[in-house]
Amino acid sequence: MARAEDFSSIRQIMQPLEESGILVLRTDQELLEALDSFVVVERDGQIIACAALFPFFEEKCGEVAAIAVSPDCRGQGQGYKLLDYIEKKASSLGLEMLFLLTTRTADWFVRRGFLECSLESIPEKRRKMINLSRKSKYYTKELLPDSSGITVDRAVL
């Protein structure tokens, strides 16, 4: 789980992707309020990647959001490791499915087992907040039940 002191590093990694429209623009306040839903990857004490998992417990699913890797660490598998971690964390929380909205990186998620779905597959509470002008595509992935007994917290890959 990300901590308050991780805020500026997360902001720095996400900002170029927000500016280019790949990630949804979040205000500092929105990011601070969501910080406990973020996980980070550290290398040599520096945060090099982040992602968020927003659980929808009633629907037994979770939204994967804001996957971002520092530019100098891209192409090294950090995004894959981070998504694996998010999947394990979701399973450990009892979630059965992940979903996401994306505008440009669909092929990357498809390679990781996500399937395109309709808007109706997204929890209603989340559907009401979607900015339809972004023209996102929606994807889901069923999760295997967690039987490891391992609790996940902070990723150091």
Q: Return the higher-pLDDT residue of 115 and 104.
A: 115
Q: How far apart are the first and last CA of the chain?
A: 14
Q: How far apart are CA 58 and CA 75, in angstroms?
A: 36
Compute the mean pLDDT over every residue in the chain, rounded to the nearest whole number.
92
Binned at pLDDT 50, 70 and 90, residue 155 comes out as: very low
pLDDT confidence of 154, banded at 50, 70, 90? very low
The pLDDT, as a whole number, for residue 149 is: 56
Domains and CATH numbers, the chain: 4-142 (3.40.630.30)
The pLDDT, as a whole number, for residue 145 is 79
Residue 58 tokens, joined: 């009633």
Q: What percent of the chain is modeled with pLDDT above 70? A: 92
What pTM does this model have?
0.89
- Per-residue pLDDT for 151 more than 60? no
Give tens-digit pLDDT for 45-88: 999 999 999 999 999 999 999 999 999 998 998 999 999 999 99
Distance, in Å, from the CA atom of 71 to the CA atom of 146, rounded to the nearest integer, reads 32
